[in-house]
Amino acid sequence: MKVINGIVGVLSIFGAIYCLFFPGLSFINIGWVITTILGIFGICSIIFYFTKKKMYENLMIEGVHGAFGLVVGIAAAVVSMLAIFVPSIQAVLDLIILIIFAIWMILDGVSSIAESFAMKKASTSKSWILALVLGIIMLIFGIYGICHLIFVARFIGITMGIMLMSYGIKLIASLFEKDEYCKK
C-alpha cells in the first residue's frame, strides 16, 4: 500500500502544481480532474480498508470516505459525459461540482484532523502537526466555500491545488511513518 500511496502522492503534487499555475484551465477540465482524483482516491481507500481492517481498529471512516469518493467520482463522470452532449446541463454541473467540492473539503479536513490525533497518540514524530494544520485549513476553506459558492467558483483551481498538495504531502509523509499509528 505504501507504493500506491507514494505514486498517488506524487501524482497529486503534480496535479496540484498544474492547478495552482493554471486555475482557469483547471475549472474548464474540472469534471474530468475530479472524476480521476476521486476515483483513484476512492479505490485506494477501499483497498486499504479491506486489506488492513483486521489490523487496525480506526479505519471505518477511511472506508466510508473512500466509498463516498468513489461514488462521487462515478457520478461526476456520468454527469460530465451528459454535459458534453447536452450543453444546458453544463450550468447545473458547475453548480453541483462547486457544492460537492466544498463538502469534500469539509470531509477531508475532518478526516485529516481525526487522523492527526490518531498519529499523535501512537507516534513520537511531529508529522501529526502537518496533518492537523492542513486539516484545519481544508475545513475552513470548506465551510467558507459552502457559505460562499462564488469563492469556490473563483478560486476552485487554487483550492483544488491546495487540496491536492495537502493530500499528496500527507500520502508522501505516510511513507515515512510506521504502520502502528492506527492501532489502539
Averaged pLDDT for residues 63-75: 76
List alpha helices for the chain, DSSP H.
2-21, 23-28, 30-52, 60-85, 89-122, 127-147, 149-174
Task: Report d(CA 120, CA 128) in Å as an integer.
Answer: 6
pLDDT score recorded for residue 151: 76
- Mean predicted confidence (pLDDT) in 73-96: 74
Short-list 115, 102, 118, 119, CA closest to 163: 102
| Higher-confidence position of 137 and 35 | 137
CB of 107 closer than 8 Å to CB of 151: no
How far, in Å, are 5, 9, 12, 78 from residue 2 at the CA level? 5, 10, 15, 31
State residue 39's pLDDT score: 74
The ranges assigned to domains in the chain are 2-176
Residue 184's pLDDT is what? Answer: 41
Residues 74, 121: Cα–Cα separation, whole Å: 36
The pLDDT tens digits for 171-180 are 788 787 765 4
Are 71 and 32 within 8 A, CB to CB? no
